[in-house]
Amino acid sequence: MQKHTSTLGEVPVYEDFSLCTHCGLCLNHCPTYRLWQLEADSPRGRIRQMLLVEEGELPIADGFVRHIDRCLDCRSCETACPSAVNYGKLVEHARARIENEYRRPWMARVMRNFVYRRLLPYPERIAMAARLLRFYQASGLQVLARASGILRMLRLAEREQLLPRIDRRFFFDQVGKTFPAKGPRRARVAFFAGCVANVTFTALNEATIRVLTANGCEVTVPDGQFCCGALAAHAGVRDSARELARRNLAAFTSGEFDAVVTNAAGCGSTLKEYHHLFRHEEPEFAGALTLAEKSRDVTEFLAGLGISAQLREVTARVTYQDSCHLLHGQKIREAPRQLLRAIPGVELVELPYAEICCGSAGVYNVTETRASMELLAEKMRHAQSTRAQIIATANPGCLLQLRAGAELRKTNQEVLHVVEMLDRALSGSAAT
Amino acid sequence: MDPALIHELKALLGPANVLSTREDLMLYEFDGSVEKGRPDVVVFPHTTEDVARIVKLANRFAVPIVGRGAGTGLSGGALARGGGVMLVFARMNRILELDLENCRAVVQPGVVNLEITRAVEHAGLYFAPDPSSQKSCTIGGNVAENSGGPHTLASGLTTNHVTALELVLPDAEIVRVGNRHGDSTGYDLCGLLVGSEGTLALVTEITVKLTRKAELVKTLLAVFDAVGDASRTVAEITARGITPAACEMLDGWTLAVIENYLRAGFPRDSAAVLLLEVEGLREAAESQAAAIDEICRANHAREVRTARDAQDRDLLWKGRKNALGAMGRLAPSNYVLDGVIPRSKLPEALERIHEIGTSAGFRIGNIFHAGDGNLHPIILFDPRDKEQFARAIATAEQIIRMCVSLGGSLTGEHGVGMEKNELMTLLFSDADFDLMRRIHDAFNPDSSLNPGKIFPVSKGCGEIRVGRHSKTAETRA
């Protein structure tokens, strides 16, 4: 009997594809299949297309690229799969091949190159772009643009709605600092601050540090950290992802930490799979594996450590939307729910189809806006059915998307990270 | 395929509901089975009228039609064996009516099995048929194949939960059979249609029964050192008048494979395990669970675990539900068989399967619905090795023949499809076929609907079957 030999981290081989027995159990778990009911936009159909491409039966042409582009890489299919197909790795490989072998329209080429190779890897450029955007939002230009109808003319109205609000202060200022534990020290952790989160989620990052320190953690925000490379890896821009991983290895393996903690499920699942970016024989592999093993989502870490801080009452009906890369990428379902239930006054109600993606999916809401908006509409419909005042989730991308959803559909629901809920309970205040 | 037909289909349904390029059609040539068959065009109807119009068009161009739901079938029932139009019901996926008071739901065929339960569980109801693919398979497919699942033993097959159907006949006429609240007036056409594998009509609307959830469910896992002990346990449970909701058996080797994959704490050195479930009113379920526990121990069970809560129950079921996946990791492909034997012949059947496997050079895993003698042996093979592929197919046939020779049947729940149509001669005489053929022709005289299924298409099977499959092996490799 031939044994299965996978070579993840390298180019997938026949055995990686053939794990898929085309049983179809993934279909109804795939957000895009649920939208369109097309085999070509289902995990089973995409795997078949990838295999046909590998075998030279299908060209890397418009059709293939469209179906692979439309995949959210939410990895919901991995949770449904009885054969443990490593779909995320397969789709990233397909995207890497598309990146190398397919010529996109020039505008897409320019944009992709700019975002993945020229913007995300450079914190100072992220800050610069953020300042420009902040000027647009604060100067009245945004109001003008929205009122003038120019956005509609340029077909940018929906995307513009999704723009994150740029913070007045950037979290970049906190990088390099160490925050002492409140009370006896229970753990030493390194905080992974993300990339865009530095300019749009300063409050979330600060709340994360407050919650960690209040629960006895000494928190260091190591200098020299960069974007984790998730967006680049998911887009198939592997060279950029590998370069970013190298820099983060240098930043995070120098200190003595019990864990590397992140509040971004997308970053977390990438950090936990850093060793997949390198081949066994490459010098980076060992360090990547160490960092991967030390990486923890903040909800996972806190639930494991146990909440020691006094939590005051936060009276609210709350529902929880699973972040795909927490639930499907990292298989963490209970930790965030457990933390929410630990807050006195919180009534946690399950969100129907919480395990289905909200449509955020990294940059998906920008690249595949229409599909993203359809998924969001469905999500908000379910969120409204729970009659929850607060929608909690565990990833900045989901926060942005759900906030846009709550605003677009005027649901009057507040959207918060689980950690922000805990932070609120530290000071004790009612829902707004 | 006549481009004029594709053109007219697009005009009828809109281009978004018609697929006709080679790269799209390649994705509809397979399902969950090892069979293949590529359609010439794929269409997505939204209404019963769409279906009728498509049928009319196809008839005008004299091309065959096959219906498909989610393509999770295991006998090739929804494959376009003779090419033609594939009618995919996935976009007819609305729940049309919920009548909770009378425990009925009216649904379109593309509704996913589990979605029915999700829509009614708030009222303490569920849809009972639970094929292992229930998270994705559609109710239309369940009706076509008369699907069962682990809980078939107590709750029956799909046919026991369908009361009325709307059909489009092969001549495009729309008719209704059965009655929402069930009656026995006239011929039971609803019963005839359920399990007819899409060879009599296209089902466009289904009325199903909803079942009230039991007050208490008790799940037990019993580990045995001898297969005989496990099957005696099953016999004794039944003899005592206990009908478990589920009674599943896994052989020791399969359990070890599962444990290597899941690390859920199952023993690696057992001969067999039984997964038993009883449900009902609290007192009844508890006393039945206690009786089962006692019977297991009296039959030398090494260990009997009872689930304490829902989470515990999920853990016990996890092994069963992940069995295929765990086995799948040992080889590039696997072939799940479906055969039925008399419950009393379990130890003998297991031994024969082991012998057949050994002489063919395969290690065969066994999962079965022990309560009703429905076996699912799993053959692991590499489809790139054409000789091995052919040998796997031949071994499967040997096992199915063995089931029949023990007094059993060809299929318990996967259907005949194009997987076992040649083997039908093992069970039925020419006179039997003649009757079935006359029923078939009353509905589908030109065989325009799902041709090449259920009925044998060639007489001498052996070489032809292997020949066909090794051609399949070529295209797969």
Which residues lie closer than 8 Å to B396 by C-beta, 6 or more apart?
Answer: B335, B337, B379
The chain-wide mean pLDDT, for chain A, equals 89
Q: What's the gap between Cα B158 and its chain centre?
A: 10
Q: What percent of chain A has pLDDT over 90?
A: 62
Fold for domain B3-90? Answer: 3.30.43
Residue B470 banded pLDDT, cuts 50, 70, 90: very low
Rounded to whole angstroms, how far apart are CA atoms B70 and B27?
12
A64 to B331: CB separation less than 8 angstroms, yes or no: no
**Domains of chain A: which residue ranges?**
14-101, 117-161, 171-303, 310-427
B114 to A28: CB separation less than 8 angstroms, yes or no: yes
Which residue from B19, B137, B334 is facing A21, i.e. has the nearest CB? Answer: B334
Q: What's the gap between Cα B180 and its chain centre?
A: 25
A63 to B21: CB separation less than 8 angstroms, yes or no: yes
Could you tell me which residues are beta bridge partners of residue A220? A178, A190
Residue B460 banded pLDDT, cuts 50, 70, 90: very low
> Is CATH 1.10.1660 what the domain over A310-427 is classified as, yes or no?
no
Residue A130 near residue A200 (C-beta atoms within 8 A)? yes
Any CB–CB contact under 8 A between A345 and chain B? Answer: no
Chain A nearest CA to B207, separation (Å):
22
Q: Is residue A390's pLDDT more than 50? A: yes
Instruction: Return the SS3 of B122.
Output: helix
Residue B466 banded pLDDT, cuts 50, 70, 90: very low
Q: Provide mean pLDDT across the span B200-205.
A: 98
Which residue from A29, A58, A83 is facing B328, i.e. has the nearest CB? Answer: A83
Residue A155 banded pLDDT, cuts 50, 70, 90: low
B70 to A28: CB separation less than 8 angstroms, yes or no: yes
Which residue from A39, A52, A84 is facing B329, i.e. has the nearest CB? Answer: A84
Beta strands in B69-168 (DSSP E): 85-88, 95-99, 104-107, 125-126, 162-168
Chain B nearest CA to A293, separation (Å):
19
Environment class of residue A56 by beta-carbon count within 10 Å: exposed (0-12), middle (13-18) or buried (19+)? Answer: exposed
- For residue A18, the chain B residues in CB contact (below 8 A) are 332-333, 383
In terms of CA atoms, which chain A residue is nearest residue B361?
A1
- For residue range B349-383, list pLDDT tens digits in order: 989 999 999 999 998 999 889 888 999 999 999 88
Residue A8 banded pLDDT, cuts 50, 70, 90: very low
Its CATH class, for the domain covering B216-320, is alpha beta
Chain B nearest CA to A58, separation (Å):
7
Task: Mark out the alpha helices in B334-458 (DSSP H runs).
Answer: 346-360, 386-405, 430-443
Which residues lie closer than 8 Å to B172 by C-beta, 6 or more apart?
Answer: B52, B53, B55, B56, B59
Give chain B's largest Cα–Cα span: 71
Q: Is residue A252's pLDDT more than 80? A: yes
Confidence (pLDDT) at B475? 34
Confidence (pLDDT) at A209? 97
Residue B72 near residue A23 (C-beta atoms within 8 A)? yes
- For residue B27, the chain A residues in CB contact (below 8 A) are 39-40, 45, 48-49
- For residue range A22-36, list pLDDT tens digits in order: 999 999 999 999 999
B329 to A4: CB separation less than 8 angstroms, yes or no: yes
Q: Provide mean pLDDT across the span B56-79.
A: 96
Q: Provide mean pLDDT across the span B266-291.
A: 93
Confidence (pLDDT) at A222? 93
- For residue range B244-255, list pLDDT tens digits in order: 999 999 999 999
* β-bridge pairing B303-306 and B272-280: unpaired
- Cβ neighbours of A40 (radius 10 Å): 24
Long-range contacts of A408-414 (CB under 8 A, 24+ apart): A408/A161, A408/A376, A408/A380, A409/A377, A409/A380, A409/A384, A411/A380, A411/A383, A411/A384, A413/A383, A413/A384, A413/A388, A413/A389, A414/A389, A414/A390
Environment class of residue A84 by beta-carbon count within 10 Å: exposed (0-12), middle (13-18) or buried (19+)? Answer: middle
Chain B nearest CA to A15, separation (Å):
6
- For residue A83, the chain B residues in CB contact (below 8 A) are 324-325, 328-329
In terms of CA atoms, which chain B residue is nearest residue A53?
B23
**Domains of chain B: which residue ranges?**
3-90, 98-212, 216-320, 331-476
Residue with more model confidence, A412 or B464:
A412
Confidence (pLDDT) at B364? 92
Residue A8 near residue A14 (C-beta atoms within 8 A)? no
Q: Is residue B474's pLDDT more than 70? A: no
Q: Is residue B262's pLDDT more than 90? A: no
Any CB–CB contact under 8 A between A2 and chain B? Answer: yes
A38 phi and psi angles, rounded to 5 deg? -110, 130
Rounded to whole angstroms, how far apart are CA atoms B193 and B205?
13
Confidence (pLDDT) at B260? 86
Q: Provide mean pLDDT across the span B93-104.
A: 97
Confidence (pLDDT) at A428? 59
Least confident interval from A317-326, B257-266, B399-408: B257-266
Beta strands in A245-331 (DSSP E): 259-262, 295-297, 316-320
Confidence (pLDDT) at A210? 96
Residue A164 near residue A142 (C-beta atoms within 8 A)? no
Any CB–CB contact under 8 A between A37 and chain B? Answer: yes
* β-bridge pairing A414-417 and B18-19: unpaired
Confidence (pLDDT) at B472? 35
B93 to A37: CB separation less than 8 angstroms, yes or no: yes
- For residue B135, the chain A residues in CB contact (below 8 A) are 25, 28-29, 80
The model's pTM: 0.91
Task: Pick the residue of B20, B26, B29 with the most A CBs within 10 A to test the interface with A by mutation.
Answer: B26
Fold for domain A14-101? Answer: Fumarate Reductase Iron-sulfur Protein; Chain B, domain 2 (1.10.1060)
Q: Let me know the angle formed at the C-alpha of B278 by B277 and B279, rounded to the nearest 5 degrees.
A: 125
Rounded to whole angstroms, how far apart are CA atoms A60 and A229?
25
- For residue range B108-159, list pLDDT tens digits in order: 999 999 999 999 999 999 999 999 899 999 999 999 999 998 888 889 999 9
Q: Provide mean pLDDT across the span B86-95.
A: 98
B334 phi and psi angles, rounded to 5 deg? -140, 155
DSSP state of B106: E
Residue type, B188: D
Signed CA dihedral, A88, A90, A96, A101: sign only: negative
B332 to A18: CB separation less than 8 angstroms, yes or no: yes
Chain A nearest CA to B261, separation (Å):
10
Confidence (pLDDT) at B30? 94
The chain-wide mean pLDDT, for chain B, equals 91
A37 to B44: CB separation less than 8 angstroms, yes or no: yes
The CATH code for residues B331-476 is: 3.30.70.2740
Residue type, A305: L
Confidence (pLDDT) at A153? 67
- For residue A58, the chain B residues in CB contact (below 8 A) are 23, 26
The residues of B whose Cβ lies within 8 A of any Cβ of A are 19, 21, 23-24, 26-28, 30-32, 44, 70-72, 88, 90-91, 93, 110, 112, 114-115, 118, 133, 135-137, 261, 321-322, 324-325, 328-334, 363, 380, 382-384
Q: Provide mean pLDDT across the span B168-196.
A: 92
The domains spanning B216-320 and B331-476 adopt the same CATH topology: yes
Residue type, A388: A
In terms of CA atoms, which chain A residue is nearest residue B318?
A82
- For residue range A182-216, list pLDDT tens digits in order: 999 999 999 999 888 888 889 999 999 999 999 99
Confidence (pLDDT) at B473? 34
Which residue from B135, B330, B380 is facing A28, i.e. has the nearest CB? Answer: B135
- For residue range A58-107, list pLDDT tens digits in order: 999 999 999 999 999 999 999 999 888 999 989 999 998 998 899 888 88
- For residue A81, the chain B residues in CB contact (below 8 A) are 325
- For residue B140, the chain A residues in CB contact (below 8 A) are none
Residue A10 banded pLDDT, cuts 50, 70, 90: low
Q: Is residue A17's pLDDT more than 60? A: yes
Instruction: Return the SS3 of A148.
Output: helix
Q: Is residue B464's pLDDT more than 70? A: no
Give the H or E element holding residue B276: strand B272-280
B98-212 CATH pick, 3.40.50.10800, 3.30.465.10, 3.30.70.120, 3.40.710.10: 3.30.465.10
Q: DSSP string covering A348-400, please?
A: EEEPTTTTS--S-TTTHHHHTHHHHHHHHHHHHHHHHHTT-SEEEES-HHHHH
Q: Provide mean pLDDT across the span A276-280.
A: 89
Rounded to whole angstroms, how far apart are CA atoms A107 and B168?
49
Confidence (pLDDT) at B467? 30
Angle between helices A418-427 and A334-342 (to 10 degrees): 20
A21 to B324: CB separation less than 8 angstroms, yes or no: yes
A83 to B325: CB separation less than 8 angstroms, yes or no: yes
A40 to B384: CB separation less than 8 angstroms, yes or no: no
A27 to B331: CB separation less than 8 angstroms, yes or no: no
Residue A9 banded pLDDT, cuts 50, 70, 90: low
The closest alpha carbon to B93, from B140, B27, B58, belongs to: B140
- For residue range B396-435, list pLDDT tens digits in order: 999 999 999 999 999 988 999 999 999 999 999 999 999 9
Confidence (pLDDT) at A355? 97
Give the ipTM: 0.91
Q: Name the residue with tokens 């209704």.
A: B176
Q: Name the residue with tokens 């359809």.
A: A374
Any CB–CB contact under 8 A between A18 and chain B? Answer: yes
Q: Provide mean pLDDT across the span A225-245.
A: 87
Residue B326 banded pLDDT, cuts 50, 70, 90: confident
